[in-house]
A and B are shown apart, each in its own frame.
Chain A
Protein backbone atom coordinates (compact mmCIF):
# COMPACT_ATOMS: atom_id res chain seq x y z
CA UNK A 1 0.00 0.00 0.00
CA UNK A 2 2.96 2.35 0.55
CA UNK A 3 3.76 2.38 -3.15
CA UNK A 4 1.02 4.99 -3.61
CA UNK A 5 1.97 8.60 -2.93
CA UNK A 6 -1.45 9.36 -1.40
CA UNK A 7 -0.96 6.49 1.08
CA UNK A 8 2.51 7.74 2.00
CA UNK A 9 1.01 11.16 2.70
CA UNK A 10 -1.84 9.54 4.63
CA UNK A 11 0.55 7.59 6.86
CA UNK A 12 2.73 10.63 7.55
CA UNK A 13 -0.39 12.66 8.38
CA UNK A 14 -1.73 9.86 10.60
CA UNK A 15 1.57 9.66 12.50
CA UNK A 16 1.66 13.43 13.04
CA UNK A 17 -1.97 13.57 14.14
CA UNK A 18 -1.34 10.59 16.46
CA UNK A 19 1.55 12.34 18.20
CA UNK A 20 -0.22 15.72 18.53
CA UNK A 21 -3.49 14.16 19.77
CA UNK A 22 -1.61 11.84 22.12
CA UNK A 23 0.20 14.76 23.77
CA UNK A 24 -2.81 17.07 23.90
CA UNK A 25 -5.09 14.22 25.01
CA UNK A 26 -2.95 13.79 28.11
CA UNK A 27 -3.72 17.40 29.07
CA UNK A 28 -7.42 17.02 28.18
CA UNK A 29 -7.77 14.04 30.51
CA UNK A 30 -5.57 15.58 33.22
CA UNK A 31 -7.59 18.82 33.27
CA UNK A 32 -10.89 16.98 32.74
CA UNK A 33 -11.69 18.84 29.53
CA UNK A 34 -13.17 15.93 27.56
CA UNK A 35 -16.57 17.57 27.21
CA UNK A 36 -15.12 20.92 26.18
CA UNK A 37 -13.13 18.97 23.55
CA UNK A 38 -16.38 17.58 22.16
CA UNK A 39 -17.91 21.06 22.20
CA UNK A 40 -15.01 22.72 20.37
CA UNK A 41 -14.55 19.94 17.80
CA UNK A 42 -18.22 19.84 16.89
CA UNK A 43 -18.30 23.64 16.78
CA UNK A 44 -15.61 23.58 14.08
CA UNK A 45 -18.31 22.25 11.77
CA UNK A 46 -19.90 25.71 11.57
CA UNK A 47 -16.58 27.17 10.42
CA UNK A 48 -15.97 24.37 7.91
CA UNK A 49 -19.39 24.95 6.33
CA UNK A 50 -18.69 28.68 6.23
CA UNK A 51 -15.47 28.00 4.32
CA UNK A 52 -17.29 25.73 1.86
CA UNK A 53 -19.96 28.35 1.20
CA UNK A 54 -17.49 31.24 0.88
CA UNK A 55 -15.07 29.21 -1.22
CA UNK A 56 -12.11 29.62 1.15
CA UNK A 57 -10.12 26.88 2.91
CA UNK A 58 -12.59 25.07 5.22
CA UNK A 59 -9.63 24.08 7.44
CA UNK A 60 -8.77 27.73 7.94
CA UNK A 61 -12.33 28.84 8.69
CA UNK A 62 -12.92 25.72 10.80
CA UNK A 63 -9.78 26.48 12.82
CA UNK A 64 -10.70 30.14 13.29
CA UNK A 65 -14.20 29.14 14.33
CA UNK A 66 -12.93 26.52 16.77
CA UNK A 67 -10.56 29.09 18.29
CA UNK A 68 -13.30 31.69 18.70
CA UNK A 69 -15.62 29.08 20.23
CA UNK A 70 -12.85 27.83 22.58
CA UNK A 71 -12.16 31.33 23.86
CA UNK A 72 -15.89 32.09 23.94
CA UNK A 73 -16.53 29.03 26.09
CA UNK A 74 -13.69 30.02 28.43
CA UNK A 75 -14.87 33.62 28.81
CA UNK A 76 -18.60 32.91 28.97
CA UNK A 77 -17.97 30.06 31.42
CA UNK A 78 -16.04 32.41 33.73
CA UNK A 79 -18.36 35.42 33.44
CA UNK A 80 -21.86 34.01 33.10
CA UNK A 81 -21.74 32.05 36.34
CA UNK A 82 -23.60 29.24 34.55
CA UNK A 83 -20.67 26.83 34.54
CA UNK A 84 -18.66 25.63 31.61
CA UNK A 85 -20.69 22.54 30.76
CA UNK A 86 -23.84 24.61 30.28
CA UNK A 87 -22.07 27.17 28.11
CA UNK A 88 -20.53 24.35 26.01
CA UNK A 89 -24.07 23.10 25.28
CA UNK A 90 -25.02 26.53 23.92
CA UNK A 91 -21.93 26.93 21.68
CA UNK A 92 -21.96 23.29 20.59
CA UNK A 93 -25.58 23.23 19.37
CA UNK A 94 -25.38 26.77 17.94
CA UNK A 95 -22.34 26.13 15.77
CA UNK A 96 -23.54 22.67 14.62
CA UNK A 97 -26.87 24.23 13.61
CA UNK A 98 -25.04 27.00 11.75
CA UNK A 99 -23.01 24.36 9.90
CA UNK A 100 -26.12 22.46 8.81
CA UNK A 101 -27.92 25.65 7.68
CA UNK A 102 -24.89 26.96 5.75
CA UNK A 103 -24.23 23.58 4.10
CA UNK A 104 -27.84 23.42 2.90
CA UNK A 105 -27.34 26.76 1.10
CA UNK A 106 -24.57 25.42 -1.11
CA UNK A 107 -25.54 22.64 -3.46
CA UNK A 108 -23.09 19.75 -3.16
CA UNK A 109 -21.54 21.06 0.05
CA UNK A 110 -23.11 18.24 2.07
CA UNK A 111 -20.93 15.64 0.35
CA UNK A 112 -17.75 17.61 1.08
CA UNK A 113 -18.93 18.33 4.61
CA UNK A 114 -19.14 14.57 5.20
CA UNK A 115 -15.36 14.37 4.70
CA UNK A 116 -14.84 16.92 7.45
CA UNK A 117 -17.26 15.13 9.75
CA UNK A 118 -15.57 11.74 9.56
CA UNK A 119 -12.18 12.47 8.00
CA UNK A 120 -10.75 11.98 4.53
CA UNK A 121 -7.07 11.32 5.08
CA UNK A 122 -6.51 9.76 1.67
CA UNK A 123 -7.21 13.17 0.09
CA UNK A 124 -4.49 15.04 2.03
CA UNK A 125 -2.45 17.24 -0.30
CA UNK A 126 1.29 18.02 -0.03
CA UNK A 127 0.49 21.58 1.07
CA UNK A 128 -1.91 20.37 3.75
CA UNK A 129 0.65 17.85 4.96
CA UNK A 130 3.32 20.55 5.28
CA UNK A 131 0.90 22.75 7.22
CA UNK A 132 -0.10 19.85 9.42
CA UNK A 133 3.52 18.95 10.27
CA UNK A 134 4.53 22.56 11.01
CA UNK A 135 1.38 23.24 13.06
CA UNK A 136 1.73 19.94 14.90
CA UNK A 137 5.35 20.68 15.86
CA UNK A 138 4.35 24.09 17.23
CA UNK A 139 1.44 22.67 19.24
CA UNK A 140 3.60 19.91 20.76
CA UNK A 141 6.38 22.39 21.65
CA UNK A 142 3.86 24.72 23.32
CA UNK A 143 2.28 21.84 25.24
CA UNK A 144 5.61 20.68 26.62
CA UNK A 145 6.30 24.22 27.84
CA UNK A 146 2.94 24.15 29.65
CA UNK A 147 3.35 20.67 31.13
CA UNK A 148 4.17 21.49 34.75
CA UNK A 149 2.01 24.62 35.09
CA UNK A 150 -0.94 22.59 33.77
CA UNK A 151 -0.10 19.77 36.17
CA UNK A 152 -0.17 22.35 38.99
CA UNK A 153 -3.61 23.63 37.89
CA UNK A 154 -4.92 20.07 37.70
CA UNK A 155 -3.58 19.46 41.21
CA UNK A 156 -5.34 22.47 42.71
CA UNK A 157 -6.16 25.71 40.96
CA UNK A 158 -6.23 27.80 44.12
CA UNK A 159 -2.84 26.59 45.33
CA UNK A 160 -1.41 27.07 41.84
CA UNK A 161 -2.71 30.65 41.78
CA UNK A 162 -1.33 31.26 45.27
CA UNK A 163 2.10 30.31 43.92
CA UNK A 164 1.87 32.73 40.99
CA UNK A 165 0.37 30.59 38.21
CA UNK A 166 -1.86 32.58 35.86
CA UNK A 167 -4.80 30.20 35.77
CA UNK A 168 -6.95 32.08 33.26
CA UNK A 169 -4.11 32.57 30.82
CA UNK A 170 -3.10 28.91 31.11
CA UNK A 171 -6.72 27.86 30.53
CA UNK A 172 -7.01 30.02 27.42
CA UNK A 173 -3.69 28.76 26.07
CA UNK A 174 -4.76 25.14 26.48
CA UNK A 175 -8.12 25.74 24.81
CA UNK A 176 -6.44 27.55 21.90
CA UNK A 177 -4.09 24.57 21.47
CA UNK A 178 -7.11 22.28 21.62
CA UNK A 179 -8.72 24.25 18.76
CA UNK A 180 -5.48 24.04 16.74
CA UNK A 181 -5.26 20.28 17.32
CA UNK A 182 -8.81 19.78 16.09
CA UNK A 183 -7.87 21.45 12.81
CA UNK A 184 -4.74 19.30 12.61
CA UNK A 185 -6.71 16.12 13.22
CA UNK A 186 -9.78 16.85 11.13
CA UNK A 187 -8.38 15.33 7.91
CA UNK A 188 -7.65 12.00 9.61
CA UNK A 189 -10.72 11.41 11.74
CA UNK A 190 -13.05 14.39 11.21
CA UNK A 191 -14.65 16.65 13.79
CA UNK A 192 -17.10 14.02 15.01
CA UNK A 193 -14.51 11.34 15.70
CA UNK A 194 -11.53 13.36 16.89
CA UNK A 195 -12.42 12.72 20.53
CA UNK A 196 -11.43 9.11 19.86
CA UNK A 197 -7.84 10.34 19.52
CA UNK A 198 -8.07 13.27 21.94
CA UNK A 199 -9.52 11.48 24.93
CA UNK A 200 -9.38 7.71 24.47
CA UNK A 201 -5.58 7.09 24.24
CA UNK A 202 -4.92 9.37 27.23
CA UNK A 203 -7.72 7.68 29.18
CA UNK A 204 -6.22 4.28 28.32
CA UNK A 205 -2.82 5.54 29.48
CA UNK A 206 -4.36 6.72 32.76
CA UNK A 207 -5.69 3.19 33.29
CA UNK A 208 -2.24 1.65 32.85
CA UNK A 209 0.28 4.14 34.29
CA UNK A 210 0.40 6.05 37.59
CA UNK A 211 2.97 8.79 36.90
CA UNK A 212 2.27 11.71 34.60
CA UNK A 213 5.41 11.26 32.52
CA UNK A 214 4.58 7.58 31.89
CA UNK A 215 0.97 8.52 31.10
CA UNK A 216 2.11 11.11 28.59
CA UNK A 217 4.49 8.69 26.85
CA UNK A 218 1.86 5.94 26.80
CA UNK A 219 -0.84 8.31 25.52
CA UNK A 220 1.36 9.25 22.53
CA UNK A 221 2.25 5.59 21.85
CA UNK A 222 -1.39 4.50 21.94
CA UNK A 223 -2.62 7.38 19.76
CA UNK A 224 0.16 6.63 17.26
CA UNK A 225 -0.70 2.91 17.28
CA UNK A 226 -4.40 3.65 16.75
CA UNK A 227 -3.71 6.16 13.95
CA UNK A 228 -1.24 3.99 11.99
CA UNK A 229 -2.85 0.64 12.83
CA UNK A 230 -6.34 1.96 12.04
CA UNK A 231 -5.20 3.34 8.69
CA UNK A 232 -3.49 0.06 7.73
CA UNK A 233 -6.55 -1.95 8.77
CA UNK A 234 -8.85 0.37 6.81
CA UNK A 235 -6.74 -0.24 3.70
CA UNK A 236 -6.76 -4.01 4.24
CA UNK A 237 -10.52 -4.19 4.95
CA UNK A 238 -11.45 -1.43 2.49
CA UNK A 239 -13.40 0.58 5.06
CA UNK A 240 -13.44 4.27 6.08
CA UNK A 241 -10.02 5.21 7.59
CA UNK A 242 -11.41 7.80 10.02
CA UNK A 243 -13.84 5.33 11.55
CA UNK A 244 -11.24 2.58 11.70
CA UNK A 245 -8.69 4.79 13.45
CA UNK A 246 -11.30 5.83 16.03
CA UNK A 247 -12.45 2.24 16.46
CA UNK A 248 -8.86 1.01 16.97
CA UNK A 249 -8.38 3.60 19.69
CA UNK A 250 -11.54 2.50 21.49
CA UNK A 251 -10.62 -1.21 21.16
CA UNK A 252 -7.23 -0.48 22.78
CA UNK A 253 -9.08 1.22 25.65
CA UNK A 254 -11.25 -1.84 26.33
CA UNK A 255 -8.26 -4.18 26.08
CA UNK A 256 -6.45 -2.05 28.68
CA UNK A 257 -9.58 -1.95 30.80
CA UNK A 258 -9.74 -5.76 30.71
CA UNK A 259 -6.02 -6.11 31.47
CA UNK A 260 -6.29 -3.79 34.45
CA UNK A 261 -9.39 -5.60 35.67
CA UNK A 262 -7.52 -8.91 35.66
CA UNK A 263 -4.56 -7.35 37.46
CA UNK A 264 -6.75 -5.82 40.19
Chain B
Protein backbone atom coordinates (compact mmCIF):
# COMPACT_ATOMS: atom_id res chain seq x y z
CA UNK B 1 0.00 0.00 0.00
CA UNK B 2 1.38 3.43 -0.88
CA UNK B 3 2.27 6.01 1.75
CA UNK B 4 -0.38 8.52 2.85
CA UNK B 5 2.25 11.25 3.04
CA UNK B 6 5.68 11.07 1.42
CA UNK B 7 8.38 13.74 1.58
CA UNK B 8 11.58 13.63 -0.44
CA UNK B 9 14.44 16.11 0.00
CA UNK B 10 12.08 18.91 0.96
CA UNK B 11 13.60 22.35 1.52
CA UNK B 12 11.81 25.56 2.46
CA UNK B 13 13.38 29.01 2.52
CA UNK B 14 12.06 32.27 3.92
CA UNK B 15 13.93 34.93 2.01
CA UNK B 16 17.59 34.02 2.33
CA UNK B 17 17.02 31.92 5.49
CA UNK B 18 16.77 28.17 5.23
CA UNK B 19 13.85 27.01 7.36
CA UNK B 20 13.89 23.35 6.36
CA UNK B 21 16.51 21.40 4.48
CA UNK B 22 16.41 17.96 2.87
CA UNK B 23 13.56 16.54 4.89
CA UNK B 24 12.41 13.09 3.84
CA UNK B 25 10.08 10.58 5.52
CA UNK B 26 6.79 8.81 4.91
CA UNK B 27 3.58 8.21 6.82
CA UNK B 28 2.04 4.82 6.07
CA UNK B 29 -1.72 4.13 6.29
CA UNK B 30 -2.84 3.74 9.90
CA UNK B 31 0.51 4.92 11.26
CA UNK B 32 1.04 7.57 13.97
CA UNK B 33 4.07 9.68 13.14
CA UNK B 34 5.25 12.33 15.58
CA UNK B 35 7.40 15.29 14.54
CA UNK B 36 9.50 16.77 17.30
CA UNK B 37 12.27 19.30 17.55
CA UNK B 38 13.31 22.33 19.57
CA UNK B 39 11.67 25.76 19.28
CA UNK B 40 12.27 27.29 15.86
CA UNK B 41 13.13 23.91 14.32
CA UNK B 42 10.59 24.41 11.52
CA UNK B 43 7.97 21.94 12.78
CA UNK B 44 4.94 24.10 12.05
CA UNK B 45 6.42 25.17 8.69
CA UNK B 46 6.78 21.49 7.82
CA UNK B 47 3.10 20.86 8.63
CA UNK B 48 2.05 23.88 6.60
CA UNK B 49 4.14 22.67 3.67
CA UNK B 50 2.36 19.30 3.88
CA UNK B 51 -0.98 21.15 3.94
CA UNK B 52 0.17 23.13 0.90
CA UNK B 53 -0.08 26.43 2.79
CA UNK B 54 3.65 27.14 2.50
CA UNK B 55 5.47 26.76 -0.85
CA UNK B 56 8.51 24.46 -0.93
CA UNK B 57 11.74 25.44 -2.65
CA UNK B 58 13.02 21.95 -3.43
CA UNK B 59 11.94 18.32 -3.22
CA UNK B 60 8.49 16.78 -3.42
CA UNK B 61 5.60 16.30 -1.03
CA UNK B 62 2.93 13.78 -1.96
CA UNK B 63 -0.28 13.68 0.08
CA UNK B 64 -2.87 10.98 -0.59
CA UNK B 65 -1.29 10.35 -3.99
CA UNK B 66 -1.32 14.00 -5.15
CA UNK B 67 1.22 16.81 -4.87
CA UNK B 68 0.68 18.87 -1.70
CA UNK B 69 -1.65 21.76 -2.43
CA UNK B 70 -5.24 22.63 -2.97
CA UNK B 71 -6.52 19.25 -4.13
CA UNK B 72 -4.56 17.24 -1.59
CA UNK B 73 -5.74 19.53 1.23
CA UNK B 74 -9.28 18.39 0.69
CA UNK B 75 -8.43 14.92 1.95
CA UNK B 76 -6.74 16.09 5.16
CA UNK B 77 -8.26 16.59 8.58
CA UNK B 78 -6.42 19.45 10.26
CA UNK B 79 -6.29 20.26 13.97
CA UNK B 80 -4.54 23.61 14.43
CA UNK B 81 -2.49 24.79 17.38
CA UNK B 82 -4.40 25.81 20.52
CA UNK B 83 -7.10 28.10 19.35
CA UNK B 84 -9.59 30.23 21.23
CA UNK B 85 -12.65 30.94 19.14
CA UNK B 86 -14.15 34.42 19.49
CA UNK B 87 -16.74 34.27 22.28
CA UNK B 88 -19.36 35.94 20.11
CA UNK B 89 -18.79 33.79 17.03
CA UNK B 90 -22.33 33.20 15.70
CA UNK B 91 -22.24 29.46 15.07
CA UNK B 92 -22.79 26.23 16.98
CA UNK B 93 -20.25 23.44 17.42
CA UNK B 94 -22.20 21.47 14.77
CA UNK B 95 -21.99 24.38 12.28
CA UNK B 96 -18.22 24.53 12.75
CA UNK B 97 -17.78 20.78 12.20
CA UNK B 98 -19.92 21.03 9.06
CA UNK B 99 -17.70 23.80 7.65
CA UNK B 100 -14.92 21.22 7.35
CA UNK B 101 -17.00 19.39 4.74
CA UNK B 102 -17.48 22.43 2.50
CA UNK B 103 -14.19 21.59 0.73
CA UNK B 104 -14.16 24.75 -1.37
CA UNK B 105 -17.86 24.41 -2.23
CA UNK B 106 -20.66 26.93 -1.88
CA UNK B 107 -23.55 24.89 -0.43
CA UNK B 108 -25.93 27.25 1.37
CA UNK B 109 -27.05 24.48 3.67
CA UNK B 110 -25.31 21.28 4.68
CA UNK B 111 -26.76 18.08 3.20
CA UNK B 112 -28.45 15.48 5.37
CA UNK B 113 -25.49 13.13 4.86
CA UNK B 114 -23.09 15.86 6.01
CA UNK B 115 -25.17 16.54 9.12
CA UNK B 116 -25.24 12.84 9.97
CA UNK B 117 -21.46 12.61 9.52
CA UNK B 118 -20.89 15.73 11.64
CA UNK B 119 -23.13 14.50 14.46
CA UNK B 120 -21.33 11.15 14.38
CA UNK B 121 -17.96 12.92 14.55
CA UNK B 122 -19.10 14.98 17.55
CA UNK B 123 -20.27 11.78 19.26
CA UNK B 124 -16.96 10.04 18.54
CA UNK B 125 -15.03 12.81 20.29
CA UNK B 126 -17.48 12.70 23.19
CA UNK B 127 -19.20 16.07 22.82
CA UNK B 128 -22.50 15.14 21.14
CA UNK B 129 -24.43 16.96 23.87
CA UNK B 130 -22.69 20.23 22.97
CA UNK B 131 -23.57 20.10 19.25
CA UNK B 132 -26.09 22.93 19.41
CA UNK B 133 -24.16 25.17 21.81
CA UNK B 134 -22.47 28.35 20.51
CA UNK B 135 -18.88 27.30 19.87
CA UNK B 136 -17.44 30.43 21.54
CA UNK B 137 -19.10 29.47 24.84
CA UNK B 138 -17.31 26.10 25.08
CA UNK B 139 -14.22 25.62 27.23
CA UNK B 140 -10.77 25.41 25.61
CA UNK B 141 -10.72 21.60 25.94
CA UNK B 142 -14.14 21.25 24.33
CA UNK B 143 -13.20 23.66 21.53
CA UNK B 144 -10.20 21.47 20.77
CA UNK B 145 -12.52 18.49 20.49
CA UNK B 146 -14.67 20.51 18.09
CA UNK B 147 -11.66 20.98 15.77
CA UNK B 148 -10.86 17.26 16.16
CA UNK B 149 -14.46 16.39 15.22
CA UNK B 150 -14.17 18.77 12.26
CA UNK B 151 -10.99 16.97 11.20
CA UNK B 152 -12.39 13.42 11.37
CA UNK B 153 -15.56 14.61 9.67
CA UNK B 154 -13.48 16.08 6.83
CA UNK B 155 -11.12 13.14 6.35
CA UNK B 156 -11.09 9.42 6.95
CA UNK B 157 -7.49 9.02 5.74
CA UNK B 158 -5.17 11.49 7.42
CA UNK B 159 -5.19 13.72 10.48
CA UNK B 160 -2.58 16.45 10.79
CA UNK B 161 -2.25 17.98 14.26
CA UNK B 162 -0.17 20.98 15.29
CA UNK B 163 0.75 21.00 18.99
CA UNK B 164 -2.56 19.32 19.84
CA UNK B 165 -2.08 19.23 23.62
CA UNK B 166 -0.40 22.56 24.26
CA UNK B 167 -2.01 24.26 27.25
CA UNK B 168 -3.63 21.06 28.55
CA UNK B 169 -2.77 19.69 31.99
CA UNK B 170 -1.30 16.19 32.23
CA UNK B 171 -4.56 14.22 32.74
CA UNK B 172 -6.25 16.17 29.94
CA UNK B 173 -3.24 15.52 27.71
CA UNK B 174 -3.38 11.77 28.33
CA UNK B 175 -7.13 11.79 27.76
CA UNK B 176 -6.66 13.62 24.44
CA UNK B 177 -4.01 11.19 23.21
CA UNK B 178 -6.10 8.21 24.31
CA UNK B 179 -9.01 9.60 22.30
CA UNK B 180 -6.74 10.17 19.33
CA UNK B 181 -5.47 6.58 19.54
CA UNK B 182 -9.05 5.26 19.70
CA UNK B 183 -10.07 7.32 16.66
CA UNK B 184 -6.97 6.21 14.79
CA UNK B 185 -7.70 2.55 15.52
CA UNK B 186 -11.45 2.66 14.87
CA UNK B 187 -11.28 4.77 11.70
CA UNK B 188 -7.97 3.42 10.37
CA UNK B 189 -6.53 6.94 10.21
CA UNK B 190 -2.93 7.91 9.62
CA UNK B 191 -1.88 10.57 12.12
CA UNK B 192 0.85 13.15 11.77
CA UNK B 193 1.35 15.23 14.90
CA UNK B 194 3.82 17.99 15.69
CA UNK B 195 4.71 18.61 19.31
CA UNK B 196 7.47 20.25 21.29
CA UNK B 197 6.65 17.73 24.06
CA UNK B 198 9.03 14.92 23.18
CA UNK B 199 8.06 12.74 26.15
CA UNK B 200 4.35 12.78 25.32
CA UNK B 201 4.95 12.27 21.62
CA UNK B 202 7.46 9.43 22.13
CA UNK B 203 4.88 7.72 24.32
CA UNK B 204 2.25 7.77 21.57
CA UNK B 205 3.86 7.65 18.13
CA UNK B 206 4.75 4.58 16.05
CA UNK B 207 7.51 6.59 14.41
CA UNK B 208 9.29 9.74 15.52
CA UNK B 209 10.88 12.28 13.22
CA UNK B 210 13.22 14.70 14.93
CA UNK B 211 14.06 17.85 13.02
CA UNK B 212 16.01 21.01 13.61
CA UNK B 213 15.90 22.57 10.15
CA UNK B 214 17.46 19.33 8.90
CA UNK B 215 16.16 15.89 9.73
CA UNK B 216 18.35 14.45 12.45
CA UNK B 217 16.75 11.12 13.16
CA UNK B 218 13.74 9.07 12.11
CA UNK B 219 12.66 5.79 13.61
CA UNK B 220 10.82 4.02 16.41
CA UNK B 221 10.49 6.22 19.52
CA UNK B 222 12.80 4.00 21.63
CA UNK B 223 15.48 4.15 18.92
CA UNK B 224 15.10 7.91 18.52
CA UNK B 225 15.26 8.82 22.20
CA UNK B 226 18.42 6.78 22.70
CA UNK B 227 20.14 8.13 19.60
CA UNK B 228 23.00 10.61 19.57
CA UNK B 229 21.30 12.43 16.70
CA UNK B 230 18.57 13.59 19.10
CA UNK B 231 21.17 15.25 21.28
CA UNK B 232 22.57 16.93 18.16
CA UNK B 233 19.12 18.19 17.16
CA UNK B 234 18.38 19.68 20.56
CA UNK B 235 22.00 20.51 21.35
CA UNK B 236 21.59 19.07 24.86
CA UNK B 237 21.69 15.82 26.82
CA UNK B 238 18.61 13.62 26.89
CA UNK B 239 19.48 10.90 29.37
CA UNK B 240 16.61 12.02 31.59
CA UNK B 241 14.22 11.53 28.68
CA UNK B 242 15.28 7.98 28.01
CA UNK B 243 14.77 7.26 31.71
CA UNK B 244 11.37 8.92 31.65
CA UNK B 245 10.23 6.81 28.73
CA UNK B 246 11.60 3.57 30.20
CA UNK B 247 9.73 4.43 33.38
CA UNK B 248 6.35 5.18 31.79
CA UNK B 249 6.51 2.82 28.86
CA UNK B 250 4.62 3.61 25.68
CA UNK B 251 1.27 5.41 25.61
CA UNK B 252 1.81 7.15 28.95
CA UNK B 253 0.83 6.12 32.47
CA UNK B 254 -1.99 3.68 32.85
CA UNK B 255 -1.49 2.03 29.45
Contacts and interface: CB of A to CB of B under 8 A. Distances in A.
For this complex, into which size category does the number of interface residues on chain A fall? Answer: 20 to 34
Nearest to B51: A162
Interface stretch (B10-18, B96-104, B173-181): B96-104
A202 to B, nearest CB: 11
Point out which of A30, A155, A156, A162 has the most chain B C-beta atoms below 10 A from its C-beta.
A162
Nearest to A207: B88
Interface in A76-125: none
Interface in B59-118: 70, 73-74, 76, 78, 80, 83, 85, 88-92, 95-96, 99-100, 102-108
B90 A212 contact: yes
Contact of A146 (B91, B95, B100, B106): B106
A177 to B, nearest CB: 14
B187 interface: no
A237 interface: no
Nearest to A145: B106
A162 B73 contact: yes
Nearest to A159: B80
At the interface, is chain A mostly helix, strand, loop or mixed? helix
B53 interface: yes
A215 B90 contact: yes
Interface residues of B, number: 30
B90 A163 contact: no
B134 A210 contact: yes
A148 B102 CA distance: 8
Given A145-B106, A212-B95, A159 B90 contact: no
Given A146-B106, A148-B102, A163-B103, A154 B78 contact: no
At the interface, is chain B mostly helix, strand, loop or mixed? loop
A147 interface: yes
A163 B154 contact: yes
A164 B80 contact: no
A258 interface: no
A160 to B, nearest CB: 8
Contacts of A211: 90-92, 134
Interface in B156-203: none
Interface of A: 30, 144-149, 151-152, 154-156, 158-166, 206, 209-212, 215
Interface of B: 51, 53, 70, 73-74, 76, 78, 80, 83, 85, 88-92, 95-96, 99-100, 102-108, 134, 147, 150, 154
25 contacts: A148-B102, A149-B102, A149-B105, A152-B99, A154-B89, A156-B83, A156-B85, A158-B53, A159-B78, A159-B83, A160-B99, A162-B53, A162-B78, A162-B80, A163-B73, A163-B99, A163-B100, A164-B103, A165-B102, A210-B134, A211-B90, A211-B92, A212-B91, A212-B95, A215-B90
